A and B are shown apart, each in its own frame.
Chain A
Amino acid sequence: MTEDLLSVRDLRTYFPTEDGLVKAVDGISFKIKKGEMVGIVGESGCGKSMTAMSILRLIDPPGKIESGEILFDGVNLTKLKETEIQKIRGGSISIIFQEPMTSLNPVFTIGEQIEEAIMLHQGLDKEKAREAAVKMLNTVGIPRADEVVDEYPHELSGGMRQRAMIAMAISCNPKLLIADEPTTALDVTIQAQILELMKDLQNRLGSSVMLITHDLGVIAEMASYVIVMYAGKIVEEAEVTELFKHAKHPYTMGLLQSKPVIVKDEDRLKSIPGQVPNPLHMPKGCYFHPRCEFATDKCRESQPQLKEVCEGHKAACWLYEGAM
């Protein structure tokens, strides 16, 4: 049994606003094993990015982690001092963001930005750091790495920049790599290349990956385990093939059905009726019930808990009450 690298328990991240309290992450618990690639999928605003930022304690005030534990390699990240979590950021846990065009500092060269991370976490001197940086750029498949290392971000294309970001993220051999919508802003062909790269790196380095996306196709390709989030909560989780074949939660089913299949002949695309709820006015009971075709009175009254529905497959839905 592979050990757990990351164990999140009942994480709550709340944002007080002028109009009320926004519960961005509302009590989620999950685990990521060593070497595993876990996909977190959900629509915009469901809290998946906030989960990632919470792990690294990068939540901007006035938001904060209200309660919960984040155990990483045995250490509770929520209890660490700022100086201690800084050692972990970019070192044992790194993150790549969605927008390669704006995520790199325009006034420093690619090399300088990668070297900065290397010198910080690995204590190498400038020369050795530069060598390491060039090596990293090569690893991520950037041609002419020794020239690119002295170039500025605006001189590279989007795909190249994202590769550079990845190089920066893996430069210190992180145990966990968080990828927040890494390919959403890229062309489809580049997307495929980046995903290949990530899979390759994962195999070689043996790191765990937390892949955040709203694209089910990407999940199907990459992840071995999937977590589905909705309105700040986890509504379903299972191994990837199990989830795609036997989705249990109506939301997941809706997501799977709404993906257009080119070979099928359909008159209308199926979509989930309604809209994602306003975080300031969450519905009573199950958050999804206003859009759910199976909603019952119980759904309107109380929230279902995430329970195991069949072996290795959990869902939070009243339809399965009494199943296991």
Chain B
Amino acid sequence: MRQYITRRLIQMIPILIGVSILLFCILQMAPGDILSANVNPHMTAEIKQELRHQMHLDQPAYVQYFYWMKGVVKGDFGDSYYFKQPVTTVIKTYIWNSFILSLVSFILSVIISIPIGVVSATRQYSKFDYFFTVVALIGISIPAFYFGLLLIKWFAVDLHAFPVSGMSTPGTNLRGIGAAGDTLYHMFLPCLVLTLGSVAELMRYTRSSMLEVIKQDYIKTARAKGLKEKVVIYKHALRNAMIPVVTIFGMWLPSLFSGAILTESIFNWPGIGPIELLAVNNRDYPLLMGINLILALLTLLGNLLADITYALIDPRIRLK
């Protein structure tokens, strides 16, 4: 197992390099650079030229890439043009906000979806099943941002039940439980939006995985042994059905950090999502490169985690 992990980690390196090259090329395709967009009157052409030279912007692409990678390897992603701070600092500040929002969503989704998915599968074609199938269908068909807007309109604006935006009520200076409560209050609507999307997908996936498993011969055997139906479903079938489902969780790991760009920006939740939009709109390349590279790394780690989990819980893979 250790060998496997090491091998996979090593395999990730060329992929990450490929990713960084791809990213760099994409950004190089944009005309001009941060300085050409700057219309500060104090910035004379000479100063701009000087700055350009300092930032290596007058060098050919591959040289710029080299300088950048040199920094990355040391953990220095350069400075954000917009925030005038190291990229790593910027990311660190905001990424955890995305994380809590996504984490709470994730936990809620799991708690809701899996039992419903299992029961849906065991009562296929029943009213219960149809109802939740429809709910799931709606969940994956409605654009997340649209749903968010609807929620804001109904609950925040019309009913004043929840805050329209932000992570904390402005002007207050709460501590401890009060602060936590305030955060939760603000978290409610955006969480709802995120949860709907993932619940829908997870429910469907669990249901179809369960249905597949129930058709298997070994379930027939379990029944023929005289086991109660409950045991057959919740012990024999569920263990097998969960294998593919759990591996999805690993793939969701990156999205825990990448933030739900749309949802966060609609609710003005200070996560990595709006920051990314900011970086994009302001052509803040170091920040963009940093965010995308970190996200790519997380995706790869997520895949690795998914594969490891798969190996841990499926004995057929484990012992290879």
Contacts and interface: CB of A to CB of B under 8 A. Distances in A.
A97 B225 contact: no
A94 interface: yes
Contacts of B228: 83, 86
A108 B216 CA distance: 15
B239 A107 contact: yes
B314 interface: yes
14 contacts: A56-B224, A58-B223, A58-B224, A83-B228, A86-B226, A88-B226, A89-B225, A89-B226, A90-B224, A103-B221, A105-B221, A106-B218, A116-B227, A165-B221
Interface in A58-88: 58, 82-83, 86-88
Contact of B218 (A56, A86, A95, A105): A105
B315 to A, nearest CB: 4
Interface in A152-168: 152, 154-155, 165, 168
Contacts of A94: 224-225
A264 to B, nearest CB: 39
A28 to B, nearest CB: 21
Nearest to A171: B225
B226 A105 contact: no
Interface of B: 216-218, 220-229, 236, 239-240, 243, 313-316, 319
Interface residues of A, number: 30
A6 to B, nearest CB: 16
Closest 9 CB pairs of A and B: A89-B226, A90-B226, A90-B225, A102-B217, A105-B218, A152-B315, A86-B226, A103-B217, A103-B221
Contact of B319 (A105, A108, A117, A155): A155
B217 A89 contact: no
B309 to A, nearest CB: 14
B316 A152 contact: yes
Contacts of B220: 58, 97, 103
B268 to A, nearest CB: 46
Contacts of B227: 86, 90, 116, 120
Given A106-B316, A107-B240, A154-B316, A120 B218 contact: no
A309 B239 CA distance: 54
B319 A104 contact: no
Nearest to A152: B315
A42 interface: no
Contacts of A88: 226
Contacts of B225: 89-90, 94, 116-117, 120, 168
Contacts of A307: none
Interface string A101-126: 01111111000000011001100000
Contacts of B216: 102
Contacts of B315: 106-107, 152, 154
A103 B220 CA distance: 8
Contact of B236 (A105, A120, A121, A165): A105
